[in-house]
C-alpha cells in the first residue's frame, strides 16, 4: 500500500445538443489527458457518462429519465454501453492507468439497473457495482436495486463505488470499509439542487466515519428541462488533513476552509468543468484507522459481510 494519485473529473453537459460526436470525444480525451499529464494513477468520470455515446441516450441526459427510458435501454443500452467501455478500456490500456469511466443504464431480467465500473491498467473490468438505494421517483421508473456490495483490489488500493443515493446511506460506506476499501468513489448526476451541506452528509461523512479517502465525480450543466448540479471533491479523514478533511474541491473557496460552517453558501462552481488532482497517502489513512479503531466495533457487529446485501441489511436491523 502506498500513495496513489487520483484525478477526478467534473463534466459539464451544457449545450449538449450542439456537440457532434467528434467534439464530445475530444472533450472526454482532453479531460482524460489532464489526468495523464499530471501522472495520475486513477482517473474518475461521473455518473451517466456512458449516455453520451449515442444520440438516443444523450436525449435521456437532456430530458431526464422517464417512463420510456426502460424501453430505450432494453433496445439500445447494450450498444452504447459497449461503445463506452471500449473507449475507456482502450484509454486505460494504452496509458497504463486505472479508470472509473462513470456509469451506465443497463437492462436486466429484474428491470432497469444503474451500474458503475472500474477498469484496471490492462484495460480489464475488475469491478462492477449497481446502485442499491433509489428515490421513490426512480422506483416508479422501474429501477431495480443491486444485490451486492463489492470491492476490487488493484495493484495500489482496494476500491469501492457508491452510486447516486447510496452515497447518503451510511451503511454503504461502512460495508465497503469493512471489506477493506481504502478508497470509496461516489459517482453523481444530480438533476436538482445540490449544495455543500448535502455533500457533508454524503462523501465527507463516509471519509470521517470510516477513516478512508472519498472521491466524488459529478455531472453538471444545463439540460433542456433542468440543471445537473454537483460539487466534485476529494475528502480524507479530518484528523489527518485538518481542519476539515477536504483535500480538494471544485470550488476553491471550499478547499481552504477553516470551518465547516459557511452559512447558506450557494457555490458558483456547480456548472464548472474541471479536474481535481491529489496524492492520497493510503498507508497513512490505514495507520489512522488502525490506531483509532474505527472499524473494530463494526466488525464485531457485522461479522463476515461476504458482499451479500440481503444478509448485511438483515444484520443491520
Q: What is the pLDDT of residues 25-75, one digit of tens each?
A: 999 999 999 999 999 999 999 999 999 999 999 999 999 988 889 999 999
pLDDT of residue 225: 84
Q: Are 104 and 91 in contact (CB under 8 A)?
A: no
Q: State the pLDDT confidence band at 228, using cuts at 50, 70 and 90.
A: very high
Q: How many alpha carbons lie under 13 Å from residue 223 in its C-beta half-sphere?
A: 21
Q: Collect all residues with Cβ–Cβ distance below 8 Å to 57 and sequence separation of at least 6.
A: 50, 51, 72, 76, 77, 80, 105
Tell which phi-psi region holds residue 245, choosing left (phi > 0), alpha (psi between -120 and 50) or beta.
left
Average pLDDT in the chain: 89
Q: 51 by DSSP, 3-state: which?
A: helix
Question: What is the pLDDT averaged over residues 199-209?
Answer: 95
Pairing of strands 227-228, 233-235: unpaired
Segment 150-178, tens digit of pLDDT: 999 999 999 999 999 999 999 999 999 99
pLDDT of residue 266: 58
pLDDT of residue 265: 56
pLDDT of residue 45: 99
| pTM for the model | 0.92
Q: What is the CATH code of the structural domain delimited by 3-316?
A: 3.60.110.10
Q: How many alpha carbons lie under 13 Å from residue 107 in its C-beta half-sphere?
A: 13
Least confident of 46-55, 120-129, 221-230: 221-230
Amino acid at each position: 500500500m502506498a500513495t496513489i494519485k487520483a484525478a477526478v473529473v467534473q463534466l459539464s453537459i451544457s449545450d449538449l445538443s450542439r456537440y457532434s460526436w467528434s467534439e464530445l470525444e475530444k472533450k472526454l480525451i482532453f479531460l482524460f489527458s489532464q489526468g495523464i499529464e499530471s501522472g495520475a494513477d486513477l482517473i474518475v468520470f461521473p455518473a451517466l457518462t456512458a449516455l453520451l455515446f449515442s444520440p438516443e441516450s444523450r436525449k435521456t441526459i437532456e430530458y431526464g429519465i422517464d417512463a420510456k427510458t426502460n424501453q430505450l435501454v432494453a433496445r439500445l443500452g447494450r450498444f452504447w454501453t459497449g461503445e463506452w467501455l471500449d473507449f475507456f478500456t482502450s484509454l486505460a490500456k494504452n496509458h497504463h492507468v486505472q479508470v472509473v469511466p462513470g456509469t451506465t443504464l443497463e437492462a436486466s431480467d429484474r428491470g432497469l439497473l444503474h451500474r458503475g465500473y472500474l477498469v484496471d491498467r490492462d484495460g480489464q473490468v475488475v469491478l462492477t457495482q449497481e446502485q442499491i438505494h433509489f428515490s421513490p421517483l426512480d422506483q416508479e421508473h422501474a429501477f431495480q436495486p443491486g444485490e451486492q456490495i463489492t470491492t476490487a483490489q488493484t495493484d495500489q488500493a482496494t476500491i469501492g463505488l457508491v452510486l447516486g443515493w447510496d452515497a447518503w446511506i451510511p451503511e454503504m460506506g461502512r460495508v465497503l470499509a469493512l471489506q477493506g476499501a481504502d478508497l470509496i468513489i461516489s459517482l453523481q448526476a444530480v438533476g436538482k439542487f445540490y449544495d455543500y451541506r448535502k455533500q457533508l452528509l454524503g462523501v465527507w461523512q463516509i471519509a470521517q466515519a470510516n477513516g478512508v479517502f472519498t472521491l466524488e465525480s459529478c455531472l453538471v450543466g444545463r439540460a433542456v428541462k433542468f440543471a445537473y448540479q454537483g460539487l466534485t471533491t476529494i475528502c480524507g479523514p479530518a484528523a489527518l488533513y485538518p481542519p476539515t478533511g477536504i483535500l480538494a474541491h471544485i470550488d476553491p473557496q471550499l478547499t481552504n476552509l477553516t470551518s465547516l460552517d459557511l452559512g447558506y453558501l450557494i457555490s458558483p462552481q456547480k456548472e464548472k468543468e474541471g479536474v481535481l488532482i491529489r496524492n492520497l497517502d493510503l498507508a497513512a489513512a490505514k495507520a489512522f484507522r488502525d490506531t483509532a479503531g474505527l472499524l473494530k466495533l463494526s466488525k464485531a457487529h457485522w461479522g463476515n459481510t461476504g458482499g451479500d446485501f440481503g444478509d448485511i441489511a438483515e444484520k443491520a436491523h
